[in-house]
Chains A and B, each alone.
Chain A
């Protein structure tokens, strides 16, 4: 379990930095893009095993980004991140599932070791 490509879609640079520092130390390749548009471009250039998408982003929001990426890269595992847990999110989860594909949720801020655990779980399930 190493060498997999991971894309992080978040308008916050520091989130990208956290992913890079945490996961690169474990041997994953981590790319960070600040928004949905950039993510669409990124998946066209490179094949990603895992894509972390922030729910709230300026421009293309998390849900829209998910929908597009689902079409563009159906083999990728999309993991939805949010700093909020509310009724709306539950609803989105449902809608997202309807759109097809497996989805994980990751709530910010992450608990210690949670990130590595989620990645490991997701990859294991894909196999």
Chain B
């Protein structure tokens, strides 16, 4: 165990909490007691002990503790060992030397094992057992030199025999006691996994094991059991190794050691290893135990490892199976000859055949020869390229239709990277294809609808345009007819009117204003003059174009008109605001006729405002949608506005909203006729009644070409 796992203290390394102190104290006490156990088995020279479990206790203490506690543990073990020796009146020099060797031995093994096996040594891996063995033989072999050296120095006896007995005694302590403590120290695991059925087997094993062990070390007690020798427990160790794992094995070994040490065979010497003294017998027995332990533990670790591997394999296989059998995609694996090695349920459903009928066969048994050759050709390409490829495959449906699969194929490689087969995952995308096609069709039809709608709008627009043109045509035809008519009417009326006016005026001139005849005749003259005005207006229709067209600046036209009308307007409290464009293009027209147009509109505005308000006159250059550049003159008043009902009639001849005698109803119709002559237009805007009042007339005339 290393710091990473056991380091739970928030204080961090360098500080010790109560738990750490307790742990170290327990370790020191255990070590101390273990030494007293060993003191029961001294060697003949009273220098060494013939058993030494303390080496295993020390190593287990290091391995079970975080590394930051190691120095403290080492120190405490050292102190405990010396204390025990001191209490036994053992020489101080020996005690110090042996304890240095012991601490170094445990520490060295702990370092080696944690280095080789990493954190969490469980002795369930062969590697762990081999590391333990290396510690028990190599590290122990090195520290045995110190121990034997000290012993040889103090007793002047043979270094070799000291070294050998140290090596065997400490080695066995490490091999058996360390795993025994470590595997059984976890109190939570002692009873776990002991099911009732297992208990019977465990009891049976313990009975058999104890009997066999006892018989093996007490040969001759029962003549009938003579054939049971010390190799029998070695063979019998396979049982716990297979059935109970490392904990079982180590427990059995501990039992064997106890039985062996206490047996007649070891204590009296009547057995097959030879040896004359009890000390020699014990060393030989321990060597036997060490060999047996290495064999048993390696076997158990090996079984555990393979069980572990098998379990992991099973788990990953289960995961794989869950995915392969759970997915709705067809999943399969083929060998290099194209024969199916694996075929999942979805694939079987797709081809309409049970899995058993497919395994071991190739595509020719599943599909038509054309399809099979197509598929196998695809497989061949994937295997040749050695890359994963995705493409669509069209395959006949078992129910008669055709289905499309999105198929991903790739090579199956073994651990050496050699291609051993081909895997494939195929997804049925028939519905999706249909949906996609449908979506495309829907999009297309939507687009078509949009085009149709657009066209409908265009048709409607051109129809409206046509209607407008027709209206204009009707209007201009009306005007033309009126022109012909008015010419005749005017002429016919003017002569009698001239007579009426002339005679009436003649008779007025001789009369006094208070005279009744004067008054009556004045009425006649006024009526006649009104008629003359009407006739003059009518005549405008009969003269489509009077003056020669010239380049006209509409700003100047407005200025001229305003110069004439200014007096009236200023007197009547009307304020004129001019917004003239500087870049106004010229128009080709008769200036006088344009003035007439402006006079009509401005007069109407002035009348509508009833002597009060603002008259806004703006001119601007506009580019029309058809690319034509035009001049716009907008005359806007804030007067009474135009009633909606009147809107359609304002350009009709003789339509007037002015009081009788004031308007002829010809002004706007004449203005319209003139503007139409120049291919222009008059646009009228007036807000609906109830809203802000006022009206605006916009005279639009095409600009002189090139302007």
Contact = CB atoms under 8 A, between A and B. Distances in A.
30 contacts: A10-B495, A12-B495, A14-B495, A14-B500, A17-B499, A17-B502, A17-B503, A18-B499, A19-B502, A21-B502, A21-B506, A22-B502, A22-B506, A54-B495, A83-B491, A83-B498, A84-B487, A84-B542, A85-B543, A87-B543, A87-B544, A87-B546, A90-B546, A108-B494, A108-B497, A108-B498, A109-B497, A109-B528, A109-B532, A112-B501
B344 to A, nearest CB: 100
Contacts of A85: 539, 543
A25 B502 CA distance: 13
Contact of A86 (B497, B499, B539): B539
B266 to A, nearest CB: 156
B665 to A, nearest CB: 20
Contact of A112 (B494, B503, B525, B542): B525
A56 B494 CA distance: 12
A21 B525 CA distance: 16
Return the 8 tightest CB-CB contacts between A and B, nearest first: A18-B502, A14-B499, A83-B494, A21-B506, A109-B498, A12-B495, A108-B494, A108-B498
B498 A15 contact: yes
B503 A18 contact: yes
A110 B542 contact: no
Nearest to B509: A25
Given A18-B502, A25-B509, A108 B495 contact: yes
A82 B29 CA distance: 152
Contacts of A56: 491
Nearest to A85: B539
A83 B542 CA distance: 12
A115 interface: yes
A112 B505 contact: yes
Interface string A108-124: 11101001000000000
A10 B496 CA distance: 12
Interface in A53-111: 54, 56, 83-87, 90, 108-110
Contacts of B373: none
Contacts of A17: 499, 502-503
A108 B497 CA distance: 8
Most B CB within 10 A of own CB, among A54, A87, A109, A112: A109
B545 interface: yes
A87 to B, nearest CB: 6
A25 B487 CA distance: 33
Contacts of B507: 21
A25 to B, nearest CB: 7
B701 interface: no
Interface of A: 10, 12, 14-15, 17-19, 21-22, 25, 54, 56, 83-87, 90, 108-110, 112, 115
A86 B547 CA distance: 10
Contact of B543 (A25, A86, A109): A86
Contacts of A15: 495, 498-499, 502
B494 A109 contact: yes
A105 B451 CA distance: 66
Contacts of B500: 14
Given A86-B539, A108-B494, 15 more contacts: A15-B499, A18-B503, A19-B502, A21-B506, A22-B505, A83-B494, A83-B498, A84-B490, A84-B491, A87-B544, A108-B498, A109-B494, A109-B528, A110-B501, A112-B505
Interface in B513-548: 525, 528, 532, 539, 542-546
Contacts of B498: 12, 14-15, 18, 83, 108-110
Contacts of A109: 494, 497-498, 501-502, 528, 532
Contacts of B501: 18, 109-110, 112
Contacts of B509: 25
Nearest to A11: B495
A85 B536 CA distance: 9
Given A84-B491, A86-B487, A12 B542 contact: no
Contacts of B487: 84, 86
A80 to B, nearest CB: 14
A110 B506 CA distance: 12
Interface string B534-578: 000001001111100000000000000000000000000000000
B522 to A, nearest CB: 11
Nearest to A14: B499
Contacts of A19: 502
A84 B509 CA distance: 28
A12 B495 CA distance: 7
Contact of A21 (B497, B503, B532, B542): B503
B532 A83 contact: no
**Most chain A beta-carbon neighbours within 10 Å: one of B507, B528, B532:** B532
A55 B501 CA distance: 20
Given A25-B509, A109-B528, A112-B525, A83 B495 contact: yes
Interface string B468-505: 00000000000000000001001101111111111101
A59 to B, nearest CB: 16
